[in-house]
Copies of this chain bind each other. A is one copy, B any other.
Amino acid sequence: MKRVGILTSGGDAPGMNAAIRAVTRTAIYNGMEVIGFRRGYEGLLEGDVIPLSVSSVGGIVHRGGTMLRTARCERFTKPEGVREGLQRLKEYDMDALVVIGGDGSFRGAYELHKLGFPVVGIPGTIDNDIAGTDCTIGFDTACNTALQCIEKLRDTASSHERLFLVEVMGRNAGFLALEAAVAAGAEFALVPEVPFDMDVLCKKLHYAKERGKSHSLIIVAEGVMQASELQALLKDTGGYDARITVLGHIQRGGSPSSFDAVLASRLGGGAIDALVRGEFGVMVGRINGEIVTNPIQISWEQKKSLDAGMMALVEILGI
């Protein structure tokens, strides 16, 4: 194991740079050379490379985004693309590849693994919807960003005595919506994991009004429906006049939180440790405080479920 490649793929997430730094420095500490491929698998196919040294990853630990840039790469979802990628890795004399991203990015890595090339995945996505780790890199920062935005909205909500709808990211998973709702003390959290029921929502809103609540916050994951859609429904069904805010891409940026910077550093180190131990085709994760590895396909084969206690908590604390 002499030369290691690294790339970031899919949506960017805060902490990816901290992971790149940890991979690079841990690899160098173990006597390896490190090459970065820019713009994900796209850059791998095109040979868009940059050598990484101890100093070239200095001063990036707290920067949002990814210094290696990222992209979605249609070509790499097909067998020819993967074979071409393998070809390129051999031309660059690579012994292994570290992939930082979500489950889509991991599928590409798995294809390389099946062709016999050593890969390790590091879970980086604000959605937290990857099994094999309690937390993905970027999730905690996104929760904090959402919380800070929602707190600003509450200033206006309470000053104007209004109902606010906040749409957060999460196409298939409600982790971010649920965490933000509990953290912000929101009255309602609508997540993709629980079938949406307009009647129940209206009853609760009615009950809250009866108890004298002057304002309420509903957090809705984009996977449930768009905020504007829910706004129209609330108007038509219950006569509720709600203001909407779509947090959008803001949730993906910013300096990583302490939690994410530490998590990224540990997983980055852990990825190289796995390679040193000869573990290939795995993803690193943190489970119950320990850095562990699992077959990389666990990331999409297993489904991580929402904490039932957290769902109940929104109900109880939103009374």
Contact = CB atoms under 8 A, between A and B. Distances in A.
B134 A289 contact: yes
Nearest to A54: B319
A62 B266 contact: no
Given A161-B69, A183-B258, A258-B183, A252 B155 contact: yes
A310 to B, nearest CB: 7
A317 B253 contact: no
A110 to B, nearest CB: 23
A159 interface: yes
Interface residues of A, number: 80
Q: Select the residue from A69, A155, A179, A262 with max chain B CB neighbours within 10 A.
A: A155
A198 to B, nearest CB: 24
B155 A12 contact: yes
Q: Select the residue from A14, A71, A183 with max chain B CB neighbours within 10 A.
A: A183
B29 A319 contact: yes
Give this chain's copy count. 4
A57 to B, nearest CB: 10
A29 B70 CA distance: 32
B140 A65 contact: no
A289 B145 CA distance: 22
A49 interface: no
A12 B257 CA distance: 22
A144 interface: yes
